Amino acid sequence: QVQLAESGGGLVQPGGSLRLSCVASERYAMGWFRQAPGKEREFVASISRIADTTYYADSAKGRFTISRDGAKTTVYLQMNSLRPEDTAVYYCAAGLSAERLWRGLYTSWGQGTQVTVSS
């Protein structure tokens, strides 16, 4: 089972930026989900194994960018123009394709990293 380790969460003011990272033990399609208090976990973005396809939730389009490094085992989520409603635990996930992750089908989860957007 692929191992995932997220980092990069923290406290940021509204309008600010954060970059989350996730290191995987193997090369899979990867994605980000988030779960806010009292809400269900929701899809944020995903990227294919070779970084040629990406999917975004409507809430992330135009503000968040998913990418992966040259070795394809680290995925990033650059989050700009953050809003209080982006506050959540962000989870990295691995799956068989970016589309399957978009559909909520995953192979493994990371432990999560807290993102708090507040003044």
Question: Which is it for the CA torsion 85, 88, 91, 96, positive or negative?
Answer: negative
pLDDT band, very low/low/confident/very high, at 64 (cuts 50, 70, 90):
very high
**pLDDT at 71 (0 to 100):** 76
Mean pLDDT of the chain: 95
**pLDDT at 1 (0 to 100):** 86
**pLDDT at 74 (0 to 100):** 95
Closest CA to 119 of 16, 10, 13, 18: 13
Region 71-92: what's the mean pLDDT?
95
